[in-house]
Amino acid sequence: MLVEANGVRLWFDVDGAELVPDGREMRARPTVVLVHGGPGGHDHSYFKPDFARLTDVAQVVYLDLRDHGRSARHDPADWNFELCADDVRAFCDVVGITRPIVFGHSMGGMIALLYAARHPGHAGGLILQSTMSRFDLDRLVEGVRKVAGDDVAELARREYSDGSTTDSEWAAVFAAFGPRVPDDAQLARRTRNPELIGYGMNLLCAFDAADAASGIACPTLVCVGRLAPVTPVAAAQETYDALPAELAHLEIVEEAGHFPWLDVPDSYWPIIKAFVVSAKDRNEQSRTPIGSGA
């Protein structure tokens, strides 16, 4: 489905019901909006079918960011993280999602963080999965070195420095992202935007929103796999430390990498579902008015 929001046509899909029968009433459930990684090389598709498991406790919305997947394309030079963050709010407002729980993975977590910081009071909860609030190339390279050795670490440095790796060299880096990564069949389902990749990577490598994290005003789960090299535990700890202490929770998932739902689903999903339910309960108790945003 396509919808116009913030001046751009965004593609989305929905899994699960917002209202479910509960005796003589229809009970509202939270809506989780999934924000994928990138830039340019991914869309919502790698979340499927695994995130259907969240429909036990919530409605799930898959969103393709502007210039990604099936959403509208523009001049790559006009793309940035702040626009995507504002798109998330505008999208939710247009389709009528109140108090969304926004799940951001990898680059999507950086966008989700900015969304919550730029629009305090809009989100009902935030899940920052395998992501960072500040890009640190040396930290990333050392993370890759620990799990894949010197040669692959230097390939990672080249890719994140100037994008000079070949497809086969990048495949070696991607394989180090965790015990399991999306396979060829899953990756074949994505709709890529090669024109955005280089420009988007430059913005990613300059990303620093650590200071903005202190303005987030909703319950926030920072989740990271113990074995994640590109977004290591140190990056998650830094993000957690930057958040308001009373709203933040850090979960380190053992034996998991960048895609923990693939690595250890039996231990991962209870963490995510419990947070979704607790965020909903907390919102119902507080009933804080939605802010006007920035």
The pLDDT value given to residue 70: 98
Average pLDDT over residues 98-121: 98
pLDDT over threshold 80, residue 108: yes
- Count of alpha carbons within 13 Å of 63, Cβ hemisphere only? 33
Residue pLDDT, tens place only, 33-53: 999 999 999 999 999 999 999
- Of all residues in the chain, the percent with pLDDT exceeding 70 is 97
Contact (CB, 8 A) for 36 and 187: no
Taking the C-alpha atoms of residue 41 and residue 236, their distance in angstroms, rounded to an integer, is 23
**Average pLDDT across the chain, whole number:** 95
Which pLDDT tens digit goes with each residue over 239-270?
Answer: 999 999 999 999 999 999 999 999 999 999 99
Q: Are strands 101-105 and 220-225 parallel, antiparallel or unpaired?
A: unpaired
Helices and strands (H and E) in the chain: how many? 10, 10
pLDDT at residue 289 greater than cutoff 80: no
Burial call 235-260: b when 16+ CB within 10 Å, e when fewer: bbebbbebbeeeebebbebeebbbbb
pLDDT at residue 171 in the model: 96
Name the 3-class secondary structure at 43: coil
**CA of residue 235 relative to chain centroid, distance:** 14
The pLDDT value recorded for residue 286 is: 67
CATH fold of 2-282:
Rossmann fold (3.40.50)
Plot region of 99 (φ>0 → left; ψ -120 to 50 → alpha; else → beta): left
- Amino acid (one-letter) located at 172: A
Domain ranges of the chain: 2-282
User: In the chain, which ranges are E strands?
Assistant: 2-5, 8-15, 19-22, 25-28, 31-35, 59-63, 101-105, 125-129, 220-225, 248-253
Going by C-alpha positions, the residue among 126, 127, 48, 61 that lies closest to residue 96 is: 61
Considering only CA atoms, which of 50, 140, 159, 121 is closest in space to residue 283?
A: 121
